[in-house]
Amino acid sequence: MRIIVAGTLRFAGDEVLCSEIIRSGAEHIVSSRKEQGCVAYNWAVDPLDAGLIHVYEEWESERALLGHFAHSSYAAMRDHLGRYELTGFAVQIYSAAGVEPVYDEDGWPRREIFGVSLNPPAG
């Protein structure tokens, strides 16, 4: 089962500070991306809310995420972020039982997702 980690970190500062946090933490992001079971790992500055960083991670399994928490890259990332004034955070773990593409084979948004359709079958 895929595991998603997503949410936000808020820092006392502006988008310049948040950009610096990400740039100076790039080695931790790169290291995490190389870990066993990492599908995606990214931090991004919110373009409309100064001081806000969005976090997105995708892991192949619960075990992979737990391995990340025990990995040196995670400890280094926490130490890195600890140098800045964190004023709020809301990061959650989500389980994903299935994965489907957003678009169909013709490039249009899907009309059915995981067997659920906006339009009920004709009866």
Q: Among 33, 49, 31, 53, which residue's Cα sits nearest to residue 41?
A: 33
**pLDDT tens column, 92-116:** 999 998 889 999 999 999 989 888 8
pLDDT tier, 120 (very low <50, low <70, confident <90, very high otherwise) = low
| Structure tokens, 76 | 């280094």
How many domains does the chain fold into? 1
Domain of residue 51, residue span: 2-97
106 in a domain, yes or no? no
* 11-44 tens-digit pLDDT: 998 889 999 999 999 999 999 999 999 999 999 9
CA distance linking residue 8 with residue 70, whole number of Å: 21
Q: Residue 53: inside a domain, yes or no?
A: yes
For the chain, what's the residue count? Answer: 123
pTM of this structure: 0.86
pLDDT average, residue stretch 76-90: 96
Cα–Cα–Cα angle for 59, 53, 57, rounded to 5 degrees: 5
Q: For residues 99 and 62, give the distance between their C-alpha atoms in angstroms, rounded to a whole number.
A: 16
C-beta of residue 44 within 8 angstroms of C-beta of residue 54: yes
- Is 16 a member of any domain? yes
CATH code: domain of residue 70 = 3.30.70.100
Report yes or no on 102 lying in a domain.
no
Distance in angstroms (rounded) separating the CA atoms of residues 4 and 94 = 5
Looking at the domain assignment, is residue 120 inside a domain?
no
- Bridge partners (DSSP) of residue 57 are 5, 41
Residue 104 lies in a domain: no
